[in-house]
Structure 1
């Protein structure tokens, strides 16, 4: 497997995210994350965790403030450039997997080839296969997604997020749909991805077993970070 891209530093300053009606969903005065470190974001439902994660990925544009990955300020990017940045630099893992049920594991993991120039497709598909192998599904690339267990489906989603070799991984409740054994296995997989490959990892989670494996835990309440605990 090719050497991974180095993780990116994150800097958040005076961030405010509003609902369409003007209600404040998240407010973060300052947040710094070192490149290659791993961070869990926890808190009760409605605390603003997923809203913050979406702002970090550029899926939501804040009303004010800045989100800077490395030297790239997301606020300065056009919609097209933001989509390109997210595709090239950020691997997203969703709680509900978002797989195409009728496609095989490899086709799902390599789905981004549909948006790439022909010359780049083979390399991405090869990396997707490598990640399936690393995550224990290398022999099952042709099996339809709907034939896998919940834990296996989430590992396909992880392979998809990593197929383009992103320096940043953002995950939203990745263990929520899994039983304890599969949740523990995925928690170790995610922690190892940051620890062993130098990627920056930010995970929204209620799972304290997962949070305990990461370098740092941020606790949110009412849209704000109220506690910052380092390992």
Structure 2
């Protein structure tokens, strides 16, 4: 899906980094793109869907069906195993859709190198492994768009590089759009495009 936010246009299947100092509005922009908040002005349009014209329930449905969210904090349930965390959205899905969601979550865990560890509790994994569980959870609904907010910030360099490889590979191999807020220059340098923000505005737009 093509996304348009006022003059900003992001092509389907592309990868975009959003960077800037703390307080520049990076996470706010990501939240507007996901429909978690309404922007103060302008429109957010994914394909033919205008998020700013939707009510809260409609934006929630759109986000559930089309967007996968990854956060700096893994937001896992420690007492649940890896598969139950990755397939968490199945608990809120119609009964007929739950098996497919769990199968898809299991498939992503396998692709991300955790296929043999689905029955282990979340609190037994390293930080990098926990973030990959969160990635599998974000992808379990088969979204066209991945939005990541400082996904590597709490990881050491080796784990961060592994996650960056995973995310870029997913975008390139499956045609998903990847938009990542990051202070990680290594991560940003590997994406197709870098948007720099200051005081709530995009002040630079660099294509790789």
TM-score between both structures, scaled by the size of structure 2 = 0.99
Residue number in structure 1 paired with 2:74: 97
Q: Alignment RMSD, CA only?
A: 0.6
1:87 and 1:107 mapped to 2: Cα distance?
18
Preserved CA contact (<8 Å) 1:220 1:226: yes
Residue number in structure 1 paired with 2:172: 195
2:101 and 2:186 mapped to 1: Cα distance?
32
Residue number in structure 1 paired with 2:152: 175
Matched positions, count:
208
Q: CA deviation at 1:35?
A: 0.6
**Alignment counterpart, residue 45 of structure 1, candidates 2, 17, 22:** 22
Q: Structure 1, residues 59-101: CA drift from partner, whole Å, max 9, x if none? A: 1111221000111000111211110100010000011011111
**Alignment counterpart, residue 78 of structure 1, candidates 55, 59, 62:** 55
Which 5+ residue runs of structure 1 have no aligned equivalent?
Answer: 1-7, 14-29
Residue 209 of structure 1 aligns to a residue in which SS?
A: helix
TM superposition outliers: structure 1 runs of 4+ over 4 Å? none
Bigger proportion of residues as helix: 2
Residue 4 of structure 2 aligns to a residue in which SS?
A: strand
Residue 80 of structure 2 aligns to a residue in which SS?
A: coil
Residue number in structure 1 paired with 2:135: 158
Q: Structure 1, residues 124-143: CA drift from partner, whole Å, max 9, x if none? A: 10000000000000000011
Preserved CA contact (<8 Å) 1:188 1:210: no
